[in-house]
Amino acid sequence: MRRTSPALAAYSWLVYGFLYLPILVLIVFSFNNSRFGATWQGFTLKWYGVLFGRSDVREALLGTLLVAIPSTLVSTVLGTLLGFGLWRYSFRWRTPLTFLMVIPIVIPDVVMGVGLLMLYALVRTVVPFSNGLLTVLLAHVTFQVSYVALTVRARLAGYDRSLEEAARDLGASDLQAFLRVTLPLALPGVLTGALLAFTLSLDDFVVTYFTSGSGFRTLPVLIYTNVKRGITPDINALSALLVGVTALVLVLASVISGRSSAFRRSARRGREDS
Amino acid sequence: MLSADAAVSVLDVDKSFGSVQVLDDVDLDIRKGEFFSLLGPSGCGKTTLLRILAGFEQPDAGQIIIGGRDMTGVPPHLRPVNTVFQSYALFPHLNVYDNVAFGLRMKRVPAAQQRERVGRALETVRIGDLARRRPDQLSGGQRQRVALARAIVGEPQVLLLDEPLSALDLKLRKELQVELSNLQETLGITFVFVTHDQEEALVMSDRIAVMNRGRVEQLGKAEDLYERPRTAFVANFLGSSNLIEGTVKAVTPEGATVQTVHGPLMTHQGAHLKIGQSVTLSIRPEKLRMERDDETEGNEVRARVDDIVYTGAENQYLLKANGERLIVFQLNADLGADEDFDYEEDVALYLPPGNLMVLEEG
């Protein structure tokens, strides 16, 4: 084993500190027994209690889930089909389409938010509707699809297309070959993508803020509007919970994709032995 | 061609990918129950022809008949054929048993019958003890057997094999060659075997179609192709040959005399030739006789030993004669016999007229 140089270790800790200190402070102060300020007054869980007593928080939590769950389901189906299609078929526009798929990921959220706002306004001149749950949900799907499609495509990239041909050769129709062979192989990618999409929806503020209108709020939007009036410990607690849930889901996603890539590595090793 | 006992008829099939023509008017019959090989270098179209038989590609023109049925527009899953893929293409998420049972499940074979047939197929390829393993826990040879079991369990009319042995090491390949031949005889299924390995094709096949640049150069039994190659390509792709160019000097009902750099050479072929026509003669390296003294009975060439390659069973002599290269193979029959020639030694080569083949232009 090579020993890490102390300078490199120190530098690494510094970087991690820089990244995680704000979150750590937030979590620590959610347990601070004081209504105001940055002085430690002892440990308490009461702010978590206060939090769940607030009806606006409960309502925003419900809103968050009403957006996150359906949008994840819809984007997982669409993204899986998109990722499969880009892997399975060679056609003229494959490369530009693959590139277009990445754009929603790299584009600034503000641009996305303003764009959606304008699009909705335009559509509203034809079909009257007001911004709310549905507009937020659709907005989330637009960026979630890209993440799912990317993870599915990456997962399938390691597989030979002859697997599908083998299935068809053995009597499976196109649909059966997809359901019995391709989909099971893509499943870890599908799950990873879905979990990623779920956390993205859970955490999204900018796009939601632009598309939610006045009556509908999710937790990140609630946190923002509250913080404008000053930081309170119960909002710290709420933020800490969001961080916790997101981290948990991401760990789950990396376990799934880690296990599947370990499986693939061993499959590749087996091939090289032969 | 279309005959009644054909398992597969390929009728005037053309196929292009973009501007590249991969199959050019291919026309052949594969008989019921025979071991048929498509042999040729990479890019000759053999794999494309196999994929057309399997239904993964459609011919641009022509027709495929399998078991008397026109396969035009019939998708792969409805054809009475199964394929052993070059990469095996075992389903990595299924164990050996489920891989083999896949086809039966697709065809809704009752469960009890499934178990029995899968068990029998695994026994046939002698991997009954591996049923619960996953493909990534198998060696190359074992995977090959699973791929084979998976393809034969459905009892197809025709089994298509796409270079199934090319990924294996030499020893295992030899073993499986014998096993495949035996399997084919036991099952009685028509095998269509794609390979670029001429020895493999010679050892295993009842008949071979030698392909080159999208065309069938010659089709026949292994001996026919080896002993009587019709084109320079076949003469050189199957084993090695000495090619000698010349002009026809005389034609008789028994054969022809061809004027070459080595002087006039008689051949028992070529009664159809015309005087003055330029032709290429071909003779296998083991079919020349090499002697110390020249007997002057005709068809003799004076040569000098340029190089000797010892390969164990035989010596390969590279000779120079009238500025041309010739090769001769001689068996290492008796130890200590005075049959070995030395470097730089002058020798006489006798080219028996019956061993000289006249090649077609091509």
Distance (Å, whole) CA A172 – CA A181 = 10
Digit-coded pLDDT (tens) for B332-358: 877 766 667 888 889 999 999 999 999
Q: What does the pLDDT look like over B29-64, one tens digit per residue?
A: 999 999 999 999 999 999 999 999 999 999 999 999
Instruction: Tell me, rounded to whole angstroms, the distance of Cα A206 from its chain centroid.
Output: 14
A88 to chain B, closest Cα gap in Å: 14
Say if the Cβ atoms of B77 and A165 lie within 8 Å.
Answer: no
Cβ atoms within 10 A of the Cβ of B28, count?
19
Nearest to A184 among B93, B135, B141 (CB): B93
Q: Which candidate, B254, B275, B205, B231, places its Cα nearest to that of B353?
A: B254
Q: What is the radius of gyration, based on Cα positions, of chain A?
A: 23
How do residues A18-27 score in pLDDT, each as one tens digit? Answer: 988 888 888 8
DSSP labels for B234-296?
Answer: HHHHSS--EEEEEEEEEEETTEEEEEETTEEEEES--TT--TT-EEEEEE-GGGSEEESS---
Q: Closest Cα of chain A to B154: distance in Å?
A: 8
> pLDDT over 90 for what percent of chain A?
49
Model-level ipTM above the cut of 0.90: no
Joined together, the tokens standing for residue A243 give 């961080």
What is the C-alpha separation between B244 and B236, in angstroms, rounded? 13
Average pLDDT over residues A113-139: 92
Q: Do residues B332 and B314 lie in contact, with contact meaning Cβ atoms separated by under 8 Å?
A: yes
CB-count burial class (<10 Å; 0-12, 13-18, 19+) for B62: middle
Contact B120, B98 (CB under 8 A): no
pLDDT at residue A272 in the model: 41
Nearest chain A residue to B77, by CA: A171
What pLDDT score does B280 carry? 94
> For chain A, how many residues are written?
274
Indicate yes or no: CB of B83 within 8 angstroms of CB of A185: no
Domains and CATH numbers, chain A: 54-273 (1.10.3720.10)
User: What's the pLDDT band for B232 if we cut at 50, 70, 90?
Assistant: very high
pLDDT band at B3 (very low <50, low <70, confident <90, very high): low
Q: Which residues, other chains included, contact A267 with Cβ-Cβ below 8 Å and sequence gap of 6+?
A: B92, B135, B136
Question: CB of B205 within 8 A of CB of B36?
Answer: yes
**Residue in B55, B92, B106 closest to A170 by CB:** B106
B141: which chain A residues are within 8 Å (Cβ-Cβ)?
A: 274
Residues of B in contact with A266 (CB under 8 A): 136
Rounded Cα–Cα distance for residues B61 and A143 (Å): 46
Mutating which of B17, B58, B136 best tests the A interface, going by the most A Cβ atoms within 10 A? Answer: B136
Task: Specify which residues B150 forms β-bridges with.
Answer: none
pLDDT at B1 over 60: no
Burial of B182 (0-12, 13-18, 19+ CB in 10 A): exposed
- Range in A53-62, A63-72, A134-143 the model is least confident about: A53-62
Centroid of chain to Cα A9: 31
pLDDT in tens, A207-218: 999 999 888 999
Kindly give the residue spans of alpha helices, DSSP state H, lying in chain B: 46-54, 96-106, 111-124, 140-152, 170-187, 198-204, 222-227, 232-237
Nearest to B248 by CA among B219, B269, B275, B212: B275
B17 touches A: beta carbon within 8 Å:
no
Once rounded to an integer, what is the mean pLDDT over residues B147-172? 93
pTM of the model: 0.81
B244 vs B76, B248, B253, B261, B299, CA distance in Å?
Answer: 47, 12, 22, 8, 13
Model pLDDT, residue A269 = 45
Can you state the angle between helices B140-152 and B96-106, rounded to 10 degrees?
20
Model pLDDT for residues B269-328, shown as the tens digit of each residue: 888 888 999 999 999 999 998 888 766 678 899 999 999 998 888 889 999 999 999 999
Q: How far is A251 from chain B (nearest CA, A)?
A: 24
Taking the alpha carbons at both ends of chain A, their separation in whole angstroms is: 31
**Amino acid A270: pLDDT:** 43
Residue B122: what pLDDT?
Answer: 96
- Other beta carbons less than 10 A from residue B139's beta carbon: 13
Mean pLDDT value across residues B74-98 = 95
Residues from chain A that touch B138, judged by Cβ atoms under 8 A, are 270
pLDDT digit string (tens) for B80-90?
999 999 999 99
Residue B35 phi, psi dihedral angles, 5° rounding: -95, 105
Strand pairing of B300-310 and B346-350?
antiparallel
Q: How far is B293 from chain A (nearest CA, A)?
A: 53
- Is B76 in CB contact (< 8 Å) with chain A? yes
Q: Do residue B137 and residue A270 have CB atoms under 8 angstroms apart?
A: yes
Chain A residues close to B93, C-beta within 8 Å: 181, 184-185
Q: Name the band, by pLDDT with cuts 50, 70 and 90, for residue A121.
A: very high
The residues, ordered by sequence, that sit 6+ positions from A64 with a Cβ below 8 Å of its Cβ are A201, A202, A218, A219, A220
d(CA B360, CA B281): 9
Per-residue model confidence as pLDDT tens digits over B252-269: 888 899 999 999 999 998
pLDDT of residue B362: 54
Contact A122, A194 (CB under 8 A): no
Report the b/e string of B149-158 with b at 16+ CB within 10 A: bbbbbbebbb
Among B17, B81, B85, B158, pick the best mutation site for testing chain A contact (most A Cβ within 10 A).
Answer: B85
- B106 to chain A, closest Cα gap in Å: 6
Task: Give residues with Cβ within 8 angstroms of A29, minimum separation 6.
Answer: A38, A233, A236
Contacts of B55 in chain A (CB under 8 A): 168
- Greatest Cα pair distance, chain B, in angstroms, is 77
The type of residue at B240 is: S
Q: What is the pLDDT of residues B174-208, one digit of tens each?
A: 989 999 999 999 999 999 999 999 999 999 999 99
Q: Å from A234 to nearest chain B CA?
A: 48
Percentage of chain A exceeding pLDDT 70? 93
Distance (Å, whole) CA A104 – CA B299 = 80
A105 within 8 A of A207, measured Cβ to Cβ: no
**Angstrom distance (rounded) from CA B271 to CA B248:** 11
CA distance A161 to B36: 27
Q: What are A219-240's pLDDT values in tens digits?
A: 999 989 888 887 788 888 888 9
Mutate to test the interface with B, among A170, A181, A261 (most CBs of B within 10 A): A170
- Is B128 in contact with B51 (CB distance < 8 Å)? no
Residue B222 and residue B205 in contact, taking contact as beta carbons nearer than 8 Å: yes
Structure tokens at A137: 């949900």
In Å, what is the CA distance from A66 to each residue of A70, A72, B283?
7, 10, 83
Residues 6+ apart with CB under 8 A from A132: A212, A213, A215, A216
What is the Cα gyration radius of chain B?
Answer: 25
Facing residue for A170 by CB, picked from B138, B143, B154? B154
Give how far A112 is from chain B: nearest CA, Å.
Answer: 39
What's the mean pLDDT in A37-48? 84
**CA-CA-CA-CA dihedral for A273, B166, B311, B348, to nearest 10:** -170
